[in-house]
Amino acid sequence: MAVRIRHAGRYREIAMALMRHGFGYMVEEMGLFHILSLPVRWISHTEPESISLGERIRRVLEDLGPAFVKFGQLASTRSDLLPDHIIQELVKLQEQVPPFSSESAKSLIEQEWGVPIEQVLRSFEEEPIAAASIGQVHAGVLKSGESVAIKIQRPGVEKIMGRDLEILKDMAAMAEKHWDWVQQYQIDRIVDEFARAVLTEMDYSHEARNTERIAAQFVDSKYIEIPAVYRDYSTSRVLVMEYVEGITLSRSRELVDKGYDLKAVAEHLTEGMLHQMFMEGFFHADPHPGNILVKKDGKLVFLDFGLVGQLSEEMKDHLSGLIIALMRRSTEGMVRSILRMGIVPDDCNLELLRSDIERLKNDYVDLPFDQIKVGKAISDLFGVAQRHRIVLPPDLTLLGKAMLTLEGVIEQLDPKISILDLAEPFGRKLLKERYNSKRIGRKVLDGVASLSETLLDLPGQAKQLSALISKGRIKVEISVPELQSLMRKLDQISNRLSFSIVLLAFSIIMVGLIIGSSLSRQPTMLWNFPTIEIGFIVALLMVLWLLYSIFKSGRF
């Protein structure tokens, strides 16, 4: 409640945007009308018929500005959490923000450097090269003569982003209380991931480290180049990098006019991205055409490493297994890889999951390899996982999104190129690595070490368990898949034993009475009662009752 009071003006803007695009019922059900004192006549319970849900969500985010646009852009990478029709609209989101003044840019640079800008720069271009929600880029020349690109954080962006992140978290919590679908699509997880991603992106020192790390991957490359970072002049709010001249891939017509071989460009780009993903496990997560330049010498230059993905060795193994299963069109292989990749809920229906993947596989059965879109196939598989509430690591979904973006770029450059064909040598390398004797030996040693640690911990854990049991603070739940069948068999055995014992007892009693009567040659009368006759009748009734009970239970 304190958040809503503190940011009442912003909540009002959000409520107005929601109502403008047919989400007035959400504002009403979350109780924002009472908090913001909005007129009830503003509520609209009818949804625009001609506009899809995804498009209305996109329009709301665009109306609310940079923080919400960036949230939508991040959400567009989560094909494992959101349905396709919403993803397709979110990928259209573009940051449309005006640049801030060059005076503000210079002032912030001087704050960060602690000296007048003239002491470091020979020249500074007033007009920015590019502007985004978090910062903008200006060209300049250092006193030492190197041309640089200077990325400067937008003034006041920390405060604005902090406010909107706080509101997003509060609204996600409110929505989760009112609608099951919010929990189903795990909106709170997306908001948390978004908050972490934005906070990381606002600290330019992270981008500097990412740039240097990816640059190290291509030190010996003939076709890929990464701009150098000038660490002495870079801070958390100012990033100074080597200025590189070239043509972005978004200007493909200009590339053709200047005689560049688009097929070679597409192949080098694909091989560079696949190397990052499958060999290094650390990759550029947003390879859109504006982030890739072609230099005069034909080299490709990757720009903007604010968003990167990272895969552990284990995840690389699982991913290679998924790609191999996809190439072999193996349903079991795909199911196995997805189960290993994510967190599977206890109530996940594995047979239904297998059936859904089998149906998805059938879409690719008749397609030749050169027509299979790997990014689309991976995103489709992650979508199946989402429907079964299997939680995948965010970096894997980033990879799926990066692959989709890459395929879109390649299609514009040369539609005949198959990423699957280019991925084949990387797949062979991964398999060679996977079954490398040194690696297997290392895994065995790690397993032995882990087992040893577990065995050493056993006495202490047993002692703790014993203490809990003695205090009555432990509950034991035993689940036996064939428990009902087992109990039925036990019932049958016990009933048969009971029946046999009763028959035996009846026989012994009757035989005893008959023998006694024969030896004494006297009628079997005890206290003037016909003992044998009455005993026979009682025993017979007991046997009949027992037989009736056993046969009625159906467990004889």
CA pair distance 105, 341, nearest whole angstrom: 44
pLDDT in tens, the chain (556 residues): 666 667 778 888 888 888 888 887 777 777 666 655 655 555 554 555 578 888 888 889 888 887 888 888 777 766 666 777 888 888 787 666 788 999 999 999 999 999 999 999 999 999 999 888 888 999 999 999 999 999 999 998 888 888 888 888 888 888 777 777 666 666 777 788 778 888 888 899 999 999 999 999 999 999 999 999 999 999 999 999 999 999 999 888 899 999 999 999 999 999 999 999 888 989 998 888 888 999 999 999 999 998 898 988 888 878 777 777 877 778 888 888 888 888 788 778 888 888 888 888 777 666 665 667 777 777 788 778 878 878 788 788 788 888 888 888 888 888 888 777 777 777 677 667 666 666 566 666 666 666 667 777 777 777 777 777 776 666 655 555 555 565 666 666 666 666 667 666 666 766 666 666 665 555 555 445 565 566 667 667 766 776 666 666 555 5
Whether residues 52 and 172 fall in one domain? yes
Half-sphere exposure of 540 (CA within 13 A, CB side): 6
Rg of the chain on CA atoms, in Å: 36
Residues 357 and 428 in one domain: yes
The domain tally of the chain equals: 4
Q: Is 140 in the same domain as 53?
A: no
Q: Say which of 80, 164, 286, 356 is annotated catalytic.
A: 286
Which domain-ending residue is among 439, 469, 498?
439
Instruction: Evaluate if pTM is beyond 0.75.
Output: no
- Residues 118, 182 within the same domain: no
Residue type at position 337: S
H helix or E strand, kind and range, residue 308: strand 308-310
Domain that holds residue 395: 309-439
Is residue 270 within 8 Å of residue 262, measured between CB atoms?
A: no
355 inside domain: yes
Q: Which three-class secondary structure state does DSSP give residue 305?
A: coil
286 has catalytic annotation: yes
Same domain for 116 and 128: yes
Instruction: Classify residue 299: in a domain, yes or no.
Output: no
Same domain, yes or no: 216 and 122: yes
Q: Which two tokens stand for residue 170?
A: 């509060």
User: How many whole angstroms from its chain centre is CA 62?
Assistant: 25
192 occurs within a structural domain: yes
Q: Is 415 contained in some domain?
A: yes
Question: Domain boundary at 439, 468, 503, which?
Answer: 439
49: its two tokens: 């018929």
Do 30 and 170 have their domain in common?
yes
Residue 451 is encoded by which pair of tokens?
Answer: 């087992």
**437 to each of 279, 314, 320, 442, how far by Cα in Å?**
18, 17, 18, 8
Residues 134 and 24 in one domain: no
Write the CATH number for 129.
3.30.200.20
Do 358 and 419 fall within a single domain? Answer: yes
The closest of 278, 267, 368 to 323, measured between CA atoms, is: 278
Q: 460 in a domain, yes or no?
A: no
Q: Is residue 428 part of a domain?
A: yes
DSSP symbol at 276: I
* Residue 230 and residue 104 share a domain: yes
* Any domain includes 515: yes
Domain match, 153 and 169 both = no
Residue with tokens 């009971």: 498
Choosing from 410, 439, 468, the residue where a domain stops is 439
Alpha carbons 451 and 453: distance in angstroms, whole number: 5
Question: What are phi and psi for residue 151, nearest 5 degrees?
Answer: -95, 120
Residue 291 lies in a domain: no
Q: Are residues 116 and 71 in the same domain?
A: no
